[in-house]
Structure 1
Amino acid sequence: MMSNENKSWPEFVGKDADEVKSQLTAEGYQVEIKPEGAPTTRDFRLNRVRLFVDDNNAIVKEPRTG
């Protein structure tokens, strides 16, 4: 279940983004998959996780809420 604190998942770096998205969505997070270096908005939301991926859909940056 989702908490009210900033959270990160370093263990997901290198994993397939679609699999991680399924897991985090089941935990109640809104997940966005974005290409590495893609622009993002500056608003902060504890229920959102962005997954930055390479050309192989592997996560390249530690996912975190925000």
Structure 2
Amino acid sequence: MASRCKNVKGKKSWPELVGASGQAAAAIIESENHKVDAIVVEEGSFVTTDIRCDRVRVFVDDNHIVKEVPKIG
């Protein structure tokens, strides 16, 4: 997680969601931290490299299963 986001209040990462459905994970993330938007992204997709403390990318495989720990950034 970017050090710039260290002062963000609330939960910042969700290791327990690896292996879960991407859409379900996004809903859980947004319910546990109302200050972030969770975005489901297919593994290997091009994404911007900017750091945003109000965004969590949820990387999923072809079966829509979370493959990486979702975290703010």
Fold agreement, TM-score > 0.5: yes
Tell me, yes or no, if the aligned pair for 2:14 and 2:29 is still in contact at 8 Å. Answer: no
> Residue in 2 aligned with 1:10?
15
What's the offset of the Cα at 1:40? 0.9
> Residue in 2 aligned with 1:50?
57
SS in 1 for 2:63: coil
> Residue in 1 aligned with 2:3?
none
What's the offset of the Cα at 1:7? 2.2
Kindly indicate whether residue 67 of structure 2 is the aligned counterpart of residue 63 of structure 1. no
Regions of 4+ moved over 2 Å: none
> Residue in 1 aligned with 2:43?
36
> CA–CA distance in 2 between the matches of 1:30 and 1:49?
6
Partner AA of 1:25 in structure 2: E
What's the offset of the Cα at 1:32? 0.9
TM-score normalised by structure 2 residue count:
0.75
What's the offset of the Cα at 1:50? 0.3
Q: Quick one: percent identity of the two aligned structures?
A: 34
Structure 2: gaps of 5 or more residues: 1-6
Structure 1: gaps of 5 or more residues: none
